[in-house]
Structure 1
Amino acid sequence: MTIIAQLSDIHLAVAAPGGDDRSGPARALRDAVSAVLALPERPDCLVLTGDLADNGLPAEYARLHALLSPLAMPVFALAGNHDDRAALRSVFTDHAPGDDPAAPFQYAVEVNGVRLVCCDTTVPGAPHGELDGARLAWLDAVLTAGPDLPTVVATHHPPFRVGVRFLDEMGLREPDAFAAVLARHPQVVRVISGHAHRASAGSIGGVTAITCPSTYRQIYLDTGRPGQAAYTGESAGFAVHIVGEDRSAVSHFVPTGGHRPLMQVD
C-alpha cells in the first residue's frame, strides 16, 4: 500500500513593505501541514498540484519551502497557472531536469512501488491549460517506460468539466488527446488535479480523475450562471490517495483546521 497526500492551490503570497496583510494563505498552509502530520499513518510522499504561489515570486516559493519543512517525506511540486516555472525550479531543484528554466516543469518518480507522473498543463501568461504535442509525447513515453507499476498522473488543470462555468472556461483545452494517451496505459489508476478549489470527481480515458480542495479558499458551486470567482465558507482541505499493489486506488478528502484528538467508537 502506498499513501500519497495532495495539497493544492495554496496561493501563498508575500506582502510588499507597508502593504496589506497576506498571512491568510500561510496560516491555512500551517493548518494543512498539521493535518497531514496528524494522519494515523505517515504518507509516503506529498504532491503539490499547482498554484503554490499567488504571484510566482521567488520569495513566495522560499516561504512555501520553509512552511513545508516539518513534513518528513518527499515533496513533489507541480506548476499551476499562478506559478512561474523558473522561480519554482529555483527552490524545488531535484526533479525538473533541463537547462531551460521556462520549459515545462514535469517529471516522473517512483514512490514505494507506485509511479507518480507530474505533467505540466500550464500556458505561461494564461489561466487555461493545454497539453501540446510535445507534452503528450513526453507523457506517452514516460508511461510506456513503466507499464508494470500502478501509476498516478498529476496535473494542475482538471481534464474534465467540473460544472462551474468560471472554472470550465479556464480548464484544460482539448482533453481528448490526453484521454487517448491514458487509454493506452492501463497501469494508470488515478489522475489527480487542482485548479478547481473544491473536491470533485470525474473520469478521463477510462481513469477516475479527481480535483483536490484548496488549502486556502473553496470556490462556490454555482452550476447555473455565467461564472466569476465566488468563494464559500466551506472547509479547506487536502486529498489522500491510497494505491494498492493490485492497482486498486481510493481517494479521501480531509478537512483542515480544528482537529480534535482521536476518539474510539465502542
Structure 2
Amino acid sequence: MKLIHLSDIHLTTPGNTIGGRDPRANFERALTHILRDHADAELMVITGDLSDWADRSDYEWLKARLQEFPLPVRLCIGNHDDRATFLSVFPECNEGGFAQGVKDIAAGRCLFLDTWGPESHAGFYCEARQQWLEQQLSESDGPFFLFMHHNPIPTHLAPMDAIGLHDDVAFRRIVGRHRDKIRHIFFGHCHIPMAGSTAGVPTTSLRGTNHASYVNFAETKMLLGSDLPESYGVAFIGEDYVTVHMIEFGYQGEIRSGGSPDYTAWDRETMQR
C-alpha cells in the first residue's frame, strides 16, 4: 500500500509569502502533483504547522479544501498552530482534549500524536499524552505507524534541538517498550530530510511544501533557511519493508533521462568531456 506524508504547509493569508514563496500556492501544487502520481494512495497525513500564525481562517480554508480532495486525510498540529483554534474547526480530531487520534489502514494502525505546547516552538509530550500512547500501543498487536510534528530524536543541530521534543526521553521509553510492533515513525518540524531510529524504530522526516531549512553544524544559534525545492513524501509499505521517498515537486532544474551524460564523449584518462 501507499501513503502520502506532507508537513509544514504553513498556510497564510492569500498573497502573503514566506521566504518569497506563497504557501497556499505551493500547497495546491503539492496536491496537484500527488493526484497526478499517487492518486492510488490510501491515506495522506499532514504532520503539523498547518497555519503559519494559527489563524482560524487558515484552518477553515484547509478544511474546505480537504473536503474536495479525493484521498482520505489526517492531521497533526505543530508549534505554529494553536490547539484550541484548530480543534474548534476540526472537532473530529479531538480525543481527550488533545489533537490526537487513530486510523486503521491496510498495513496496520496509524496513530496521530499531539506534540504541541503553549507559547513555545518546542514540543511537549505530557503524562496524559504518554498514557494515551501507552494505552493505544498496549491494546492492539498493531503493526503501528506513528505520525507527529516535533523531532523525537536529536538532530545535533543546536538551534533545531532547542525547539525539539522536550519530553523525548520519556517518549522513546514508550516506543522502546513496543518497538516490535511499531514499523515506522514520521515527523516534520525541521524542514530537512532526515532518517534514523527512535528506540530502534525507523524514523524519517522531510522538507515542507513551502520553505526549507539548511544543515550547517557550525551554526549554533540561528535557524537557517534556504531555497531548496518544496517537497512532500510518499511511503510504500509492504509486508516486510517500508520505502520512503522525498518528492521534490518544487524542483525547477533540468531532469536528464537514462544514458545522460553520454559517456562516449568522456576522455577515459582525464575523466573529462
Fold match (TM-score > 0.5): yes
Q: Which runs of 5+ in 1 are unaligned?
A: none
Instruction: Tell me the residue number matched to 2:123.
Output: 129
Large movers: runs of 4+ above 6 Å: 262-266
Matched, 1:242 2:236: yes
Stretch deviating more after TM superposition (115-124 or 40-49): 40-49
1:176-225: per-residue Cα shift (whole Å, max 9, x none)? Answer: 22111112221101111010011111211100111121100001111112
Please tell me whether residue 114 in structure 1 is matched to residue 108 in structure 2: yes
**Which residue of structure 2 lines up, in the alignment, with residue 12 of structure 1?**
11
Among 91, 94, 97, the alignment partner of 2:92 is 94
- CA 1:39–1:8: 2 relative to 1, 3 Å: same
The letter for the 2-side match of 1:166 is P
> Is residue 21 of structure 1 aligned with residue 16 of structure 2?
yes
Instruction: Report the counterpart of residue 203 of structure 1 in structure 2.
Output: 197
* Residues 177, 21 of structure 1: alpha-carbon distance in 2 compared, 3 angstrom cutoff: closer
Aligned to 2:267: none
Answer with 1 or 2: which has the greater Rg.
2
Q: Aligned runs of 1:1-266 on 2, under 5 Å?
A: 2-14=1-13, 21-22=16-17, 24-40=22-38, 42-98=40-96, 103-147=97-141, 149-185=142-178, 186-246=180-240, 248-257=241-250
Once residues 199 and 209 of structure 1 are traced to their aligned partners in structure 2, the CA distance between those partners, rounded to angstroms, is 11
Q: Deviation at 1:264?
A: 8.9
Instruction: Report the Cα distance in structure 2 between the residues aligned to 1:91 and 1:74, rounded to whole angstroms.
Output: 17
Amino acid in structure 1 at the alignment position of 2:243: V
Q: Which amino acid aligns with 1:117?
A: L
For 2:266, the equivalent position in structure 1 comes to none
Comparing 86-95 with 206-215, greater Cα deviation is found at 86-95
Deviation at 1:90, TM superposition (A): 2.8
Identity across matched positions, percent: 28
RMSD over aligned Cα atoms:
2.3
Q: How many residues of Structure 1 are paired with residues of Structure 2 in the alignment?
A: 254
